[in-house]
Structures are given as C-alpha cells and as structure tokens.
Chain A
Amino acid sequence: MKTKSTNYINLEFLSRSANEAFARGAAACFAAQLDPTLEELGDIKTAVSEAVTNAIVHAYPDSLGKIVMKARILDGDVLEITIRDWGRGIPDVDKARQPLYTTGGEERSGMGFTIMESFMDALTVRSGEGKGTRVTMRRRIVPRRVSR
C-alpha cells in the first residue's frame, strides 16, 4: 500500500566526502518542521551521515557517482529518509548489517548499520550487485505541542 506524504524533498549530489555534512544538515533542516527535540535531531543527523558515508565509501570506492537523498513527511509525524546510490551494491546485506563488519578503510568502524538501526525506528536495505543500494529509514517524531 502506498503511504501518503504531506511534504518531501529530493536532493542529488556527488559522492564526495565533503557532501556528508551537507546531506545530514539538509535532512535536519527538513526534519525541523516536525519540531523534534535536539536529541531526535542528533539521531537523524547521525543516521543520515552513516548512510551517506556508506554510499561514498562502499558504492563508489574508486570513482565518483550519484547519490540521491529523498526525505518525506508521512502521516502520523513520521520522517522517512531514503539514500540511493547506483554503485557496486552489497553482495550480502545480512552480513553487512552485522556489528563491526566493514570492508572500508581504517577510518570506518563497521558500526554504520548498527547505528542507523539504533537511532531510527525502522531500517530497510535493498541492494543488488552492480545495481546500487537503497537505504530507507523511518523515525516518528513525538508531537510536543497540542497544535501545529
């Protein structure tokens, strides 16, 4: 069943590490309309940073490629963020989601998916070798005001 969104953004950017800060900052600005707490905002920024960094490091290890971030506000004050790349893909998603598993460099800890799972309410990873990866995360922002 298709979920109705009340607002959305689409951002396309190059897989340069300098864009990690841009992506999490943009996601936080978009999420701000749900009036999140600072902790909720920190969680969202962290999860987005992990997903975008994975795309930069693993999808396009030897080249630059396209990353698209889509953020939507769904009914029930739910924020949905999708990070999509068209890179190498993940051969074994279940293995990649294991804590401490990494094929990245020394500056990666292998905790990216674990943090995304812990900091968001739901995480879906779809990937195909040579086709790219789509990471979708959802987080409900608990309303703090009577009316918006």
Chain B
Amino acid sequence: MSEPWEDDELDGPVRKFMYVNRRAPYGTIYALESLEVVLIAAAFEQDVSLVFMDDGVYQIKKGQNTEAIGVKNFSPTYRALEGYDVEKLYVEKESLESRGLTADDLVVPVQVVDRNQLAELMEEQEVILSF
C-alpha cells in the first residue's frame, strides 16, 4: 500500500527523537497532527519517546466522548503505538497531579516522571518536536 511520497530513504544514523505533547486533544489540531507525525516516524526506526505534559495529559485520558463536539475521538489510536514499537511514553507527574489525575486514568501504560527527571530525559535527546 505504498504511496509515491512514502518512498523515503531509511539511511542515516538512529537518533533520539522526542515528541512533546502539551495541548488538550480537542480545541486545536496540534494533538491529532502530532500523533500523525509519530505514526509516520515509527517507520524510520528511530529511538522514539513521547511526553505528555500540561494539558497534553488529557490526550490519553480514558473515557473520552467527543460526540457532542462532532470531532473524531482519536484516543484509541494511542493504544496502537505499542504495535509500532513506540513504547517509551512519559507523563509529567506535576501535570497529572494538578489536574487530579493518576496513571490509572490513562488509556496506555506510561512512565510517570517528575519535572526534573523530564528535564534530564530532554537533555539526552537529539531532536525534540513540541506540539
């Protein structure tokens, strides 16, 4: 099912990519289009990690129902990430706590890290994309 624009070359070194999701899932398109980047990027076999912080933690909250706003609920797609070998999911502890959430409220298993640990993880990255 290859489209002409998907014939990208896979050469070059493996780099550490981090995708930082900071915004609520609906209201703007950033969260959805960020997820689209992550799914495409998976084909490049890079060292990928995802971060959810600030209102971005709502992107992976359980029990989303978007019927009333007429927008597609894309939260089930996050559960497919494992199948794409995207397994390093980090959630900022402070962002969860300030919103009254815990890891049990999320649709995917994540590693909860505090702000300082997250800063260290960011320090290790080569490419950081923030949405």
A and B are interacting partners: no
